[in-house]
Structure 1
Amino acid sequence: MKADPAAQRRLLEVANVDAELNRINHRRRSLPELERIGAAEREVRTKQDALVAARTTLDDLRSEVERLENEVDQVRSRQQRDRQMMDSTGSSKQLEDLQHEMSTLSRREAALEDDMLEVMERREAQEADVSHAQQEVNTAESELEDARHARDEALADLESDEAKRLAERESLVADIPQQLLDLYERIRQQRGSGAGYLQGNRCGACRLELDRAALASVREAAADDVVRCEECGAIMVRTKESGQ
């Protein structure tokens, strides 16, 4: 293939733009903000799990307090009924039985009240734990929101750079013959780099040195011949600085 040397040199500019577009895409995939978001999301899940566990424990303690309160109410109702029966009974045997039951109920009431006090203290401490766990969730969610905001800003900057590079590329390829451009694009899709600057005896695309036969072939090629690297297949663009 033959192509005007100026058009071939224009390929170097296109290749530089494409390299920058590749770097932009790489940065987009490897933004440190993405890792920060991943860590923040894991932290949010961990803190949310801890909050759920704390709330479950609190609910259990509240249920236990409610159960003990009901039992205390039942004991007190029984005591009230026994007092009424003691006031109305005329039987000494029944009175003795009621007094014994009242004594038992009093001990039961005292034990239940002690249990309830202990559970209420645990409930109060658990309420503080739930409040702390909620604050931890709020902090983790705030960090996640900040990380996402930082990611969005970084992506916006990259998109702006990409738009500029794409506009620059469109302007560059407008002056390149379609056949040469098609060859460049085909090589780029297959090899990753479609063209490189021939630097002495080194291909600028793959950075490998050409052997003597390849160099001799390049030297014999006309200025408008499109020469390619035998190693990577990229178009080797010759300039005055190439030394050929």
Structure 2
Amino acid sequence: MTSPRSALPALLELQSVDSRLLTVMARAKELQTSERVASLMARRTQAIAAARALETAQQEAERAVAEAEREVTRIQDRIDKDTERLNHGGSAKDLMGIQHEIDTLTAQRGRAEDAQLQAMDHAEEVTADRDRKLPLLRAADAEARAAVAERDVELSRLKEEHARLTAERSTRVSEFTDPALLSRYDGLRTARGGGRIAVARFENGTCGACGTRLSPADAAALTNTPPQTVPQCPECSALLLV
């Protein structure tokens, strides 16, 4: 009768595949929940909003300059028309009225020109602020994009690795010759939340699964386990290749 121990080397290879699968899945989860990427994406969102606010502020400042220029032009056009009327002559009363209107418009033009200068100064300040901040905001955007791209490349690689390992596991399971031992292995591997090392080597008095160094008596008991019985670690219950 074939001893179940003869299947342990193949089971050890399966454990290696399962361990690599766990590592791949853990790394993928770590990448998907990366605090660094989340932080950079939050900064990118803020940077985009800030950049839009700067663009809006500049557009509003430019509109204010244009409106101020139009107001100066409008007043000047009225002054020019009144001046032409004044030059054509008329009654003393009419000329005095026209001159009064010109004086009033001239005062209005002065105030409009002051407002125009203020609008131009504000526009220059807004443009300078935009030019100073935009490179920093673009850098934040670029850094976030690069981090996401790097993460996605690694996730793609991990996905391929996961598919390859899953296929390899299926092949090894289909070729395994001891279903009962395989069932014991899977039970140990998935116990207590899963991820346990269910089979390992016993070398130099130490369990390769949990790292426990056994007493001489326990080590001797493992070594003297009957041939038809698969040795198990007294501490973690892993199947041991002695």
Task: Provide the residue aligned with 2:123 in structure 1.
Answer: 123
Cα contact 2:47–2:141 (8 A) shared by 1: no
**Counterparts of 2:204 and 2:135, CA distance in 1:** 65
Moved more, 76-85 or 225-234: 76-85
Q: Deviations over 1:9-29 (max 9, x none)?
A: 322221122112222222323
Runs of at least 4 residues of structure 1 off by over 6 A? none
**Counterparts of 2:145 and 2:43, CA distance in 1:** 12
Q: Residues 99, 3 of structure 1: CA spacing in aligned structure 2 closer, same or farther, 3 A cutoff? A: farther
**Counterparts of 1:139 and 1:22, CA distance in 2:** 36
Task: Provide the residue aligned with 2:108 in structure 1.
Answer: 108
Task: Provide the residue aligned with 2:202 in structure 1.
Answer: 198
Question: Structure 2 counterpart of 1:224, which letter?
Answer: Q
Q: Which runs of 5+ in 2 are unaligned?
A: none
**Counterparts of 1:155 and 1:111, CA distance in 2:** 64
**Counterparts of 1:222 and 1:111, CA distance in 2:** 107
Name the Cα RMSD after superposition.
3.4
**Alpha-carbon offset, residue 65 of structure 1:** 2.3
Task: Provide the residue aligned with 1:224 in structure 2.
Answer: 228
**Counterparts of 2:139 and 2:237, CA distance in 1:** 54
**Alpha-carbon offset, residue 7 of structure 1:** 0.6
Task: Provide the residue aligned with 2:187 in structure 1.
Answer: 186
**Counterparts of 2:135 and 2:145, CA distance in 1:** 15
Question: Structure 2 counterpart of 1:91, which letter?
Answer: A
**Counterparts of 1:178 and 1:125, CA distance in 2:** 78
Cα contact 1:21–1:165 (8 A) shared by 2: yes
Question: Structure 2 counterpart of 1:90, which letter?
Answer: S
Q: Deviations over 1:120-147 (max 9, x none)?
A: 3432553465567666555554444443
2:9 is the counterpart of 1:5: no
Q: Secondary structure at the match of 2:210?
A: coil
Q: Residues 81, 156 of structure 1: CA spacing in aligned structure 2 closer, same or farther, 3 A cutoff? A: closer
**Counterparts of 2:91 and 2:3, CA distance in 1:** 128
Task: Provide the residue aligned with 2:62 in structure 1.
Answer: 62
Question: Structure 1 counterpart of 2:92, which letter?
Answer: S
**Counterparts of 2:153 and 2:70, CA distance in 1:** 58
Task: Provide the residue aligned with 1:242 in structure 2.
Answer: none
Question: Structure 2 counterpart of 1:197, which letter?
Answer: R
Question: Structure 1 counterpart of 2:115, which letter?
Answer: D
**Counterparts of 2:184 and 2:89, CA distance in 1:** 114
**Counterparts of 1:141 and 1:53, CA distance in 2:** 15
Question: Structure 2 counterpart of 1:106, which letter?
Answer: T
Q: Which runs of 5+ in 1 are unaligned?
A: 239-244
Task: Provide the residue aligned with 1:236 in structure 2.
Answer: 240
Moved more, 146-155 or 181-190: 146-155
Cα contact 1:193–1:205 (8 A) shared by 2: yes
**Alpha-carbon offset, residue 79 of structure 1:** 2.6
Q: Deviations over 1:92-144 (max 9, x none)?
A: 4x533442342232132123123213423432553465567666555554444
**Counterparts of 1:184 and 1:89, CA distance in 2:** 115
TM-score (norm 1): 0.76
**Counterparts of 1:48 and 1:133, CA distance in 2:** 12
